[in-house]
Amino acid sequence: MTPKSITPVLLCGGSGTRLWPLSRKSYPKQFVPLMGEETLFQASAKRLSGTGDALTFQSPLVLTNSDFRFIVTEQLMAAGINPGAILIEPEGRNTAPAILAAALHVAASDPDAVMLVAPSDHVVPDAEAFHAAVAQGLAVVEDGDLVTFGIAPDRPETGYGYLELSAKPSGSGLPVKLSRFVEKPDAARAEEMLAAGTYMWNAGIFLFRARDIIAAFEAHSPSLIAPVQAALADALPDLGFLRLAPGPWSGAEDISIDYAVMERAPNLSVVPFTAAWSDLGGWDAVWRDSGPDAAGVVTSGGATAIDCEDTLLRSDSERLEVVGIGLKNVMAIAMNDAVLVADLSRAQDVKKAVDALKAKGAAQATSFPKDHRPWGWVETLVTGSRFQVKRIVVHPGASLSLQSHFHRSEHWVVVQGTARVTRDDEVSLLTENQSIYLPLGCVHRLHNPGKVPMALIEVQTGTYLGEDDIVRYEDAYARS
């Protein structure tokens, strides 16, 4: 039997505020190695790749925003996966416009293509079981059904939406017709649904043919068709990416796929999935899915627990050791610039902390000291009134833009690898322990000509040290 071809669609534009301070708007949880060496995005892409007896996955189509476009390609390449189309959303408009754009893009070359749409930040340890569930859904997809995946609940969870099935799953894994979507319940109602056996968690994963989901949009949310079609028709290629046109895209309603289509469509089936799954929607989920020890304790990074119970201790900073003594039902997560300490039962309230930090103007609400760039990354080490010290790491073969500054001068000291530095008309090759001074106003560029990452310490001095004090003359990454 020829394996059925599947086009994976990965959605990766979310901010994951419930996992603050590790996940922030500038670098959300899908790009973080949260549950091992791989990032959630890489694990998701690998899960939706390869060829088996029943399925063969095409290169993934990814929807993301401009800030993450180079992170997406870098992480896919590191995972050994060649990306398909990468559509850049000018702004977040929720999942319905994103999925419609993906369907229209796929349908342009093959209206009968089968699409598997999935978030890029879920944990599904058993990829083989997931592939088997996808194969079960293909039969009803061929009949024109829209398929969603229901997770067999193992507890009365109040943090998830539910799917009410028309009958109890038989245990065969075969699709069951969907009766209705159910909003997040209170604790008592969640207990009732767990006991009933006809309710499953809504995983937000979908399987359908491109033409069938487009037809569903035309029937149930026709107002989305014109702006999304226009955004795709006027999209501009950009270094291998496809930037959706911002004007028409802004006219698309900000709405989820559930509200726009799924709750209105009559042709929905649910594939029951009984293997392990988590959306890692909070630190309580990280604690639970990390496998607590006999005392209910999970530690990672530079963390030590002494006489603790039901506690999560985590340090994602090479400079900070976290030690808990006699703690019970506590989570403590440390980064270089922020520490979260809370009762584990209040994990869903972490987003309130982010809102509070935003209200007081704290940069930690959304940004990391370590900022990922297409050429590598930069980390702020020390900041003063008229100076700033940063660590800059440049990938092999990568270059920063040719640029100058109005308000600051810079001093670079190479601490690892080799740097080729352009300073006005002069080009210098610097190795470890060598340095160069870049006076205010000079036109300069940094390039790594070597085969290993290059690192340097940058000392900035001047009256204004903001990132917007950059005039770019040339840039390999087409940044303005």
> In this structure, what is the dihedral angle of CA atoms 62, 56, 165, 112, given to the nearest 10 degrees?
70
Closest CA to 423 of 434, 433, 411: 411
Give 372's strand partners: 377
Closest CA to 86 of 264, 235, 260, 225: 235
Closest CA to 410 of 389, 385, 432, 379: 389
pLDDT for the residue numbered 171 = 87
State which fold the 370-474 domain adopts.
Jelly Rolls (2.60.120)
pLDDT for the residue numbered 239 = 79
pLDDT for the residue numbered 264 = 94
Strand-strand pairing, 268-273 and 146-151: parallel
Q: What is the DSSP string of 117-158?
A: EEESS-B-S-HHHHHHHHHHHHHHHTTT-EEEEEEPPSS--S
Architecture of domain 4-273: Alpha-Beta Complex (3.90)
Segment 465-477, tens digit of pLDDT: 998 999 999 988 8
Cβ contact 363:465 at 8 Å:
no
Q: Domain ranges in the chain?
A: 4-273, 283-360, 370-474
Query: What is the share, in percent, of the chain residues with pLDDT greater than 70?
Result: 99
Cβ contact 280:17 at 8 Å:
no
Query: What is the share, in percent, of the chain residues with pLDDT greater than 90?
Result: 84
**What's the chain's average pLDDT?**
94
Segment 226-251, tens digit of pLDDT: 999 999 999 999 878 999 999 999 99
Region 187-195: what's the mean pLDDT?
Answer: 94
pLDDT for the residue numbered 1 = 54
Segment 384-425, tens digit of pLDDT: 999 999 999 999 999 999 999 999 999 999 999 999 999 999
Domains 4-273 and 370-474 equal at CATH topology level: no
Per-state percent for the chain, helix, strand, coil, to nearest 5: 25, 35, 40
pLDDT for the residue numbered 51 = 82
> In this structure, what is the dihedral angle of CA atoms 365, 371, 372, 378, given to the nearest 10 degrees?
-170
Segment 414-465, tens digit of pLDDT: 999 999 999 999 999 999 999 999 999 999 999 999 999 999 999 999 999 9
How far apart CA 236 and CA 247 sit, in angstroms, is 13
Segment 43-78, tens digit of pLDDT: 999 999 988 778 999 999 999 998 898 899 999 999
Model confidence at 188: pLDDT above 90 = yes
Model confidence at 2: pLDDT above 90 = no
Crossing angle of helices 95-107 and 225-233, in 10° steps, is: 60
Q: Which two tokens stand for residue 466?
A: 């903001």
Binned at pLDDT 50, 70 and 90, residue 252 comes out as very high
How far apart CA 310 and CA 327 sit, in angstroms, is 8
Model confidence at 364: pLDDT above 80 = yes
pLDDT for the residue numbered 227 = 97
Region 24-52: what's the mean pLDDT?
Answer: 90
Closest CA to 281 of 122, 64, 93: 122
Model confidence at 290: pLDDT above 70 = yes
Segment 304-315, tens digit of pLDDT: 999 999 999 999
Task: Read off the pTM.
Answer: 0.89
- The full length of the chain comes to 480
CA torsion through residues 151, 153, 154, 156, sign: positive
Model confidence at 480: pLDDT above 70 = no
Model confidence at 170: pLDDT above 90 = no
Give the phi and the psi of residue 105 in degrees, each rounded to 5.
-65, -45
pLDDT for the residue numbered 343 = 97
Binned at pLDDT 50, 70 and 90, residue 318 comes out as confident
| Number of other residues whose CB lies within 10 A of the CB of residue 181 | 16
pLDDT for the residue numbered 301 = 87
